[in-house]
Amino acid sequence: MITIPKITFPLPHSVSNHSTTIDSTNTSVQKIFFNATGQELLNLLNSRALDKGVQIIVISNPSQTTNDALSKEEKIGLGLGEALTLATNQGRLEDVKEIVRCKNSHHISKEKLGEALTCSALKDHLKVVNTLLESDLRDKIPAKDLELALQQAIIHEYKGIVSSLLNSKVSDKISEEMLVNHYIWLVANKELGTAIKLLKSDQCDKIPARALEDSLILAADNGHIELIRVLSGLRPKIDARIVAALMITFAGKGQSNVTEALMNNFLKI
């Protein structure tokens, strides 16, 4: 049994005129009930209280709870949501983990979760993105925020985040239209590493044959041998007549490297 001494956490005047006192004598874990802003929660997460075995289970934000119509759950969600925003803005991985895993994390709104994901993706905070995508809250992240995070990661060439988003358990929320547009954009702009990650991801099946065929033509035109090789793994979706036409065209141009790549990869028995 761990004995925790009496601990006092002073709260600012804007929150309360008195301290929140916890007398946890002879208890292994003391559960704290108190009103706190998101910043105060982060301060508490980094205080000696957690080292003593104290567990936070209820947080509410008094600055946003003057409306009596708000339920206790809504108040908890407001406080935790604000704390999550602060933690992700600052890239504080351990605090993000603590917030999304705490007992009342399910009260965090989907808007706050989406905001946390897009913010972290834009800043290339891969471990924070992974924490959000692997948490029990992932299903609450809106599709539009998953797509926005992917768009930001693609534009900034954050390959690790692109891969995490495309292979996450909620990647099925990403629309086919969005994937196709970005895939073609990547190939056209010669961002081949990211394009190949998309082709190798769990979402590859959403890319229709026409987009794959267009990208094969672009790959041949630009001599992108590696992309041709990866596309050959999807050859059942690519019209063989297009492959044959490309072979004839590039053989006629004397571009033997492209012709050989097409033959060696698409004519495998």
Q: Is the dihedral of CA 149, 155, 156, 159 positive or negative?
A: positive
pTM over 0.75: no
Q: What is the pLDDT of residue 130?
A: 97
Q: Compute the distance between CA of residue 22 and CA of residue 159 in angstroms, rounded to an integer.
A: 46
Model confidence at 3: pLDDT above 60: no
For the stretch 26-74, pLDDT in tens is: 333 334 444 455 566 666 655 554 444 444 444 444 444 444 556 777 7
* pLDDT higher than 60, residue 136: yes
> For 56, phi and psi rounded to 5 degrees?
-85, 125
Per the listing, tokens 């991801």 go with: 201
Burial of 241 (0-12, 13-18, 19+ CB in 10 A): exposed
Averaged pLDDT, 8-37:
40
Three-class SS state of 6: coil
* Paired strand residues for 32: 56
Q: What is the largest CA-CA distance in the chain?
A: 86
The pLDDT tens digits for 88-117 are: 988 899 989 988 988 888 989 999 999 999
Residue 8: phi and psi, rounded to 5, are -115, 130
Q: Given pLDDT bands bounded at 50, 70 and 90, which one contains residue 135?
A: very high
Residue 60, strand partner residues:
35
Question: Per DSSP, what are the bridge partners of residue 59?
Answer: 34
Tens-digit pLDDT profile for residues 188-229? 888 888 888 888 887 888 888 988 998 999 899 888 999 999
pLDDT of residue 8: 40
In this prediction, residue 125 has a pLDDT band, given cuts at 50, 70 and 90, of: very high
The SS3 call for residue 70 is coil
Give how far Cα 85 sits from Cα of 76, 79, 119, 144, 215, Å.
14, 10, 9, 18, 39
Cβ(102)–Cβ(71) below 8 Å? no
